[in-house]
Amino acid sequence: MSPRDNERLEYLGDAVLQLIAAEYLYKHHPGATEGELTQTRSAMVNTNTLAQLAEQLGLGAYLYLGKGIAKGGGRSLKSLLANAFEAVLGAVFLDAGYDAAYHYYLNRYRALPAPVRDENFKGRLQQVAQERFGATPVYDSEGAKVGNRREYTSVVFAGAEPLGTGHGASKQEAEQDAARAALESLTGSAIKPEKAARSRRSPRKKAQPAAPVVALMESPPAEVVPLPEPRSRQFGEPIE
């Protein structure tokens, strides 16, 4: 592995980030259920959030990239920026410890200019597909070169029938977009659940009802959680 590869630091940073978010939410949301905590944590650590934090630091300018991906806009690619921020957080943890990493992340999260939305469409779709079809979604993704960049297309299936198609600058973004499209289609027919089994054989008819798609997509999104002023703490101290 190249000494310039950040994958090991990304791995460490991801683990530290999950612990930071979980500890913070556990302490400051004592009445929240496990599902609510999980949804909010997802918003705090998802790719869009981490990419915004990386942009705050200007990390894109410091990425070591091949000429092709650099010319194709790789320095602004959300997945690469998110990975870079995880690597930085891992380095902070190694250099200064958990307490420093805790405040380093939370202070920057608090400074985000707009509420962070939970865009984990894949997670939502998995729950809906298992409840409705008894199947786990499967994604068929492939990339193609478009000019100087690559564009990915993903189709999501639950069984033999496609549920949605998505596009993105990365495989992950394309799969999220496909999951979003599938959710829009599925929630459009959710007002008539007794016909769900038949609608699987005619997916185009599910988009005909004009009713707003609100059953799932407009569920209250996880928002930026107001954070208290930083204070000194050490890893391993009892949680207040």
Residues with a catalytic annotation lie at: 14, 86
CB 143 within 8 A of CB 152: yes
CA triple 52-53-59, angle to 5 deg: 95
Contacts of 222 (CB under 8 A, 6+ apart): 39, 40, 42, 43, 44, 116, 117, 118
For residue 125, the one-letter residue type is: L
Residue position matching structure tokens 């960049």: 149
Contacts of 154 (CB under 8 A, 6+ apart): 139, 140, 141, 165, 166, 167, 168, 171, 174, 175, 177, 178
Report the SS3 class of residue 223. coil
Nearest to 182 by CA among 214, 219, 140, 137: 137
210: how many CB neighbours lie within 10 A of its CB? 6
For residue 128, what are its two tokens? Answer: 């809906």
Residue position matching structure tokens 């597909």: 129
